[in-house]
């Protein structure tokens, strides 16, 4: 029999992607009576690292599996470079488990290589083969990895991370993520300094073994904090605890909040579908900002991303509008989610600029919104019918850069609180202003008089991997006229640059830095938060 709970959710069947959850009424073409099986690996490898390939096995508690062997072929330009084999002979009944295979015996050349992993396994005694994944209809193209000649572009005193990520604690009828251990290892291979864990608040209050039931004891949320603390003790790469809270914007539509380092759980189930047709989020943007604990950071998530129309209608999902940027307690906004090649980035960027020109001090953030998706993004192309892949919103594709001397959680969070942030998909930069013997950096506020002369210093770099030819712009925002002007622009700066110039204070204003490059797989972009200038009475 179908429970009353599921009958209430029947109008939402078009939203569901989980291959092992289905209603009895509709047909699901991608339903399969075996665990979900996915090979994944980071899209780039930092110099000095050994490449690892991960195998994720999900829902073997429903469909027990025997994992027999793994073969991984590595090629470049259609020529085989090496092949490694592993014998597993392991039975699995786990809800979710992952395996790591290190290509320690392969001497990997620089440049892009192709990975062809194959799993031999048995279900109910019947042997099967799987390459890349076992989803119906997805193209089994090889995993592409760039073996980097140089490290990620970095500037001294800045730490690089992905600030919008989901772990395996995000698990429901729509999506799931990779384990924190796998994500941490992938971050190390990519060259990151820190990551965050921003699982959905409506997943963190579920019972650990049943995502259809809520847990008033919040055992899953507590487990997440304990696991993050344990991993931070064991490894140098820091995981910042957080959650993604569904909240109401000024219209009452649901938007998402990235909320970091709060020891208190915040509920948010408005767009989860758990209580459909009840769609009102428990908290608003202002509620969270008023109730949060000290030394936390709250950031608007993928602010101008517009969900598909059926999600906007059935789940009352909206986006961060102009009025939603106004609360002075808001720390920042994630204006990039994936690559900058889509209109959502440009719309989010403009909303952020409009807020800056109105006097709002908002830090800027990037992030992937990754659910694993280390090499490609597995997604629903047609609900209940087909799955597909693409290379947008993959892990660490869009990164947040934080000005901090260490990767300790307290230092990273404090820097985020001070708006000492930037975003990047490749190039890096920094902006400093000297005035009356004091140096001010990104996120700082200078107090000066009109017509005072400030000395502005900015520098940046990129690599061949991310496009060594850079387009560099310094924007000066005038809060009195509410306009931005170009203080500097050059479209042909190469590899590294360092420039100094003067700036005459027109009144209350700000300066910020942007850099773009051609990139390799996607456009390179760097956007800094501002240095704000407040004027004194003469």
The CA-atom distances, in angstroms, between 127 and each of 55, 65, 83, 139, 416 are 18, 10, 22, 22, 51
Q: If residue 356 lies in a helix (H) or strand (E), which one and from where to where?
A: helix 343-357
Stretch among 148-162, 258-272, 285-299, 320-334 having the lowest mean pLDDT: 258-272
Q: Token pair of 408, please?
A: 């300790």
Higher pLDDT, 32 or 454: 454
Q: How many other C-beta atoms are found inside a 10 Å radius of the C-beta of residue 374?
A: 30
What percent of the chain is modeled with pLDDT above 90?
A: 79
Q: Is pLDDT of 25 > 80?
A: no
Closest CA to 357 of 204, 108, 231, 530: 530
Domain assignments of the chain as residue spans, ordered by start: 32-149, 426-535
Q: How far is CA 433 from the centre of its chain?
A: 30
Stretch 484-494: mean pLDDT, rounded? 96
DSSP H helix total and E strand total for the chain: 8, 32
Rounded Cα–Cα distance for residues 528 and 424 (Å):
9
pLDDT tens readout for residues 381-411: 877 778 889 899 999 999 999 999 999 999 9
Q: Is pLDDT of 214 > 90?
A: no
Rounded Cα–Cα distance for residues 254 and 178 (Å):
25
Q: Token pair of 254, please?
A: 């649901």
User: DSSP string of 137-179?
Assistant: T---PPEEEEE-SSPPP--TTEEEEE--B-BTT-BSSS-B-B-
Stretch 210-232: mean pLDDT, rounded? 90
CATH fold of 426-535 reads Immunoglobulin-like (2.60.40)
* SS3 state of residue 224: helix
* SS3 state of residue 464: helix
Residues in the chain: 538
Same fold, 32-149 and 426-535: yes
238 within 8 A of 216, measured Cβ to Cβ: no
Nearest-5° Cα angle at 117, 115 to 123: 165
Q: Is pLDDT of 181 > 90?
A: yes
313 within 8 A of 14, measured Cβ to Cβ: no
pLDDT mean across residues, the chain: 91
Q: Where are the beta strands (DSSP E) in 192-331?
A: 194-200, 206-207, 210-214, 238-248, 254-260, 297-300
Q: Where are the alpha helices (DSSP H) in 380-509?
A: 409-417
Q: Would you place residue 26 in the very low, low, confident or very high pLDDT band (cuts 50, 70, 90)?
A: low
Rounded Cα–Cα distance for residues 157 and 442 (Å):
12
The pLDDT score that the predictor gives to residue 190 is 97
Rounded Cα–Cα distance for residues 448 and 346 (Å):
32
The pLDDT score that the predictor gives to residue 516 is 97
Q: Is pLDDT of 4 > 70?
A: no
97 within 8 A of 65, measured Cβ to Cβ: no
Name every residue whose Cβ is closer than 8 Å to that of residue 128 and which is 6 or more positions away in sequence: 34, 120, 121, 122
pLDDT tens readout for residues 189-203: 999 999 999 999 999
User: DSSP string of 297-346?
Assistant: EEEE-STTPPPPHHHHHHS-B----GGGG--TT--EEE--SS-TTSHHHH
The answer to whether the pTM exceeds 0.85 is: yes
The pLDDT score that the predictor gives to residue 533 is 98
What is the C-alpha end-to-end distance of the chain, expressed in Å? Answer: 78
Closest CA to 397 of 316, 476, 466, 495: 466
Name which CATH class applies to 32-149.
mainly beta
pLDDT tens readout for residues 85-111: 999 999 999 999 999 999 988 999 999
The values of phi and psi at residue 186, to 5°, are -65, -40
pLDDT tens readout for residues 237-278: 999 999 999 999 999 999 999 999 999 999 998 887 777 667
Q: Would you place residue 18 in the very low, low, confident or very high pLDDT band (cuts 50, 70, 90)?
A: low
Classify strands 297-300 and 332-334 as parallel, antiparallel or unpaired.
parallel
Higher pLDDT, 16 or 239: 239
Q: Would you place residue 225 in the very low, low, confident or very high pLDDT band (cuts 50, 70, 90)?
A: very high
């Amino acid at each position: 029999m179908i429970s009353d709970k599921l009958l209430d959710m029947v109008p939402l069947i078009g939203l569901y992607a989980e291959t092992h959850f289905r209603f009895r009424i509709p047909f699901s073409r991608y339903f399969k009576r075996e665990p979900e099986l996915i090979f994944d690996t980071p899209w780039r490898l930092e110099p000095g690292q050994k490449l690892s390939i991960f195998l994720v096995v999900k829902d073997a508690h429903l469909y027990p599996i025997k994992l027999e062997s793994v073969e991984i072929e590595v090629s470049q330009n259609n020529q085989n470079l090496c092949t490694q084999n592993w014998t597993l002979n392991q039975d699995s009944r786990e809800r979710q488990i992952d395996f790591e295979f290190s290509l320690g015996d392969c001497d990997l050349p620089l440049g892009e290589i192709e990975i062809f992993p194959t799993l031999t396994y048995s279900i109910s005694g019947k042997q099967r083969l799987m390459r890349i994944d076992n989803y119906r209809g997805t193209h089994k193209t090889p995993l592409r990895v760039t073996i980097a000649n140089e490290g990620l572009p970095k500037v001294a005193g800045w730490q690089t991370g992905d600030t919008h990520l989901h772990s395996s604690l995000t698990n429901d009828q729509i999506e799931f993520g990779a384990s924190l251990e796998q994500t941490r290892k992938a971050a190390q291979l990519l060259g990151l300094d820190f990551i965050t864990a921003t699982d959905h608040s409506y997943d963190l209050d579920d019972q650990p073994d049943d995502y259809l039931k809520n847990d008033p004891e919040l055992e899953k949320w507590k487990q997440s904090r304990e696991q993050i603390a344990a991993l931070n003790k064991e490894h140098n790469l820091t995981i910042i605890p957080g959650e993604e809270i569904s909240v109401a914007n000024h219209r009452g539509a649901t938007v998402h909040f990235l909320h970091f380092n709060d020891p208190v759980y915040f509920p948010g189930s408005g767009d989860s579908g758990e209580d459909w047709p009840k769609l009102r989020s428990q908290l608003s943007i202002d509620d969270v900002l008023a109730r949060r604990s000290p030394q936390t950071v709250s950031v608007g998530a993928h602010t101008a991303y517009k969900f598909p129309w059926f999600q906007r209608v059935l789940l009352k999902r909206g986006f961060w509008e102009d009025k939603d940027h106004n609360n002075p307690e808001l720390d920042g906004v994630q204006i990039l989610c994936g690559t900058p090649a889509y209109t959502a980035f440009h719309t989010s960027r403009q909303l952020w600029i409009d807020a800056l020109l109105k006097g709002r001090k908002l830090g800027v953030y990037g992030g992937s919104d990754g659910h694993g998706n280390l090499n490609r993004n597995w997604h629903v192309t047609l609900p209940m019918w087909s799955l597909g892949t693409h290379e947008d919103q993959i892990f660490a594709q869009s990164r947040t850069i934080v000005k901090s001397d260490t990767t300790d959680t307290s230092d990273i969070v404090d820097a985020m609180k001070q708006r000492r942030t930037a975003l990047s998909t490749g190039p890096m930069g920094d902006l400093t202003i000297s005035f009356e013997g004091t140096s001010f950096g990104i996120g700082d506020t200078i107090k000066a008089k009109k017509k005072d002369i400030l000395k502005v210093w900015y520098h940046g770099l990129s690599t061949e991997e991310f496009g060594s030819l850079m387009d560099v712009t310094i924007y000066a925002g005038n809060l009195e006229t509410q306009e931005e002007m170009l203080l500097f622009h050059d479209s042909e700066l190469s590899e590294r640059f360092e420039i100094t110039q003067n700036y005459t204070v027109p009144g209350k204003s700000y300066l910020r830095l942007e850099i773009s490059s051609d990139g390799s797989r996607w456009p390179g972009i760097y956007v800094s938060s501002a240095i704000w200038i407040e004027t004194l009475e003469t």
